[in-house]
A = this chain, B = another copy of it.
Amino acid sequence: MRFESVLINGDWRPAKSVGSFQAYDPSTGDPLPDAYPVSSWEDALEALTAGRAAALELAAASPDVLADFLDLFARRVVERADDLAALAHRETALPVEPRLRMNELPRTANQTHQAAAAARDRSWCRATIDTQLNIRSKYAPLGGPVVVFGPSNFPLAFNAAGGGDAVAAIAAGNPVIAKGHPGHPATTRLFAEIALDCLAEAGLPRATVQLVHHLRPEDGLRLVAHPWVGATAFTGSRAAGLKLKEAADRAGKPIYLEMSSVNPVFVLPGAMRERGESTAAELFASCSLGAGQFCTKPGLVVFLDDDAGRAFVDAARGRFEQPPTGYLLGRGLVDSLKTAVAELVRQKAEILVGGRELDGVGFKFANTLLAVQARDLLRSPDVFRQEAFGTATVLVLASDVGEMTAIAQALGGNLAGSIYSHSGGEDDGLYRTIEPFVRRSVGRLLNDKMPTGLAIVPAMVHGGPFPATGHPGFTSVGIPASMLRFAALRGYDNVRPERLPEELRDKNPTGRMWRLIDGEWTQADVQG
């Protein structure tokens, strides 16, 4: 059997494989024809060797060249939009329109242009200069390649070879070793092909983007812990993430993980009375986006078990009773969701709607609505801190505001959390009570809207406390902040002027880069 090639050191070549895999069409449940290799450690080591050399070259490259590459890459991705969307659709069954073609692809190109702009602007590196002592510092490339593990659920925007992590790493001056998600290898391959063409045109090292389609788990652990790696970015399951984290941590290698989240939503009593029905509609829309396979899907909805709350339950039930419009991305996700529902039921959650795999072709699961009494949740909060990936959410009925507060206090780490409150201020007292507990448990706090939908803007935070991520001080979305994951803080003490990186020389290299000179942010040169 002929396997698809891997991209190592600028060449598409047969993998030194130790196995093979095929992607699936989730709408039929059948494997797709192309066979992809599971790479051996030898492939990984060759990628590391080339990546380490490329890291030194990139660190010396002009940010303008990085930016030119990224802009070109973004344009080419748009030119190939139909092909990328078609491949992604075949491998994920996510709809071409509007999801892939109109939504995720433009977002992907947009964030790549933003990464280009940030590289060109240079302010992201936070150049800091103390003129009197000639001590200077900035964030700089890591000195080794960044390994990117792409997730299943965003074949374009989080693609291992062309998504947000990859372009943030490159914008910060690091080469990327993409470990593609085995659910969409053809999509990832096309990103890597486009990238390789653009690298050649931009004059960057051809090992700036490399791709292995799959690795044995033990080789993945070895890769993230290798001394030559700069850092790793992983988006995926908690189980896989924790193993990679342990391996990287032990080796002292930075690893940034996004590992699941339940994204609690609190609907305070006044808001429930005021707009319970529309909130139920928002909940269903948010939950069912991408067949519930969003990291920010609301998985826990907390409210009072009063008349308005019970009306909300009925309204939600009506929405969830519709047949699902999408597919789960893989067989494994069907099984995980089954298991998750069964565990919730074991802890006294009741299935109001769905809760089961659907018959017929493809990976289909009924829209699933569960309910639990707050006191039952509080008896086993751990189970309710587990993500149930898919169109599934748990309604939590609290007998009083004390129970709502207790749940806020018992939250685990989450990417996002939302509080709906009365527009006229009737909930303000309870908001003040609950907010500090929700706040400390989430990376992004929302008011009066559901957590899905990430705007690609500098202030976006897609991060949060463990185990939603591996570190609460970073974000994987939002440029330039997301680039800081792929940077080392570097000081220069008494270094001669001509040896300093341009960003730290007296003359502002762009004439408008922001720098912190003697305690003041300025776009000016160092005054002689």
Q: What is the interface of chain A, defined by CB distance below 8 A to chain B?
A: 56, 59-60, 123, 128-130, 133, 135-137, 139, 142-144, 245-246, 249-254, 413, 416, 431, 435-436, 439-440, 443-449, 455, 457-463, 465-467, 470-475, 478, 481, 484-485, 487-496, 499, 514, 516, 519, 521
Contacts and interface: CB of A to CB of B under 8 A. Distances in A.
A136 B459 contact: yes
B495 A252 contact: no
Most buried by B among A440, A444, A445, A449: A440
B143 A494 contact: no
Contact of A457 (B130, B446, B487): B130
Given A251-B466, A458-B516, A439 B128 contact: no
A143 B440 contact: yes
Contact of A491 (B246, B445, B519): B445
Contacts of A470: 252
Given A135-B459, A473-B487, 9 more contacts: A129-B459, A143-B439, A252-B467, A443-B491, A446-B494, A447-B494, A461-B490, A475-B491, A481-B489
Number of copies: 2
A484 B448 CA distance: 30
Given A446-B493, A457-B130, A489-B463, A473 B139 contact: yes
A170 B444 CA distance: 23
Contacts of A245: 249, 252
A489 B460 contact: no
B461 A491 contact: yes
Q: Which of A449, A459, A488, A489 has the most CB of B within 10 A?
A: A459
A163 B180 CA distance: 46
A499 to B, nearest CB: 7
A464 to B, nearest CB: 8
A491 B460 contact: yes
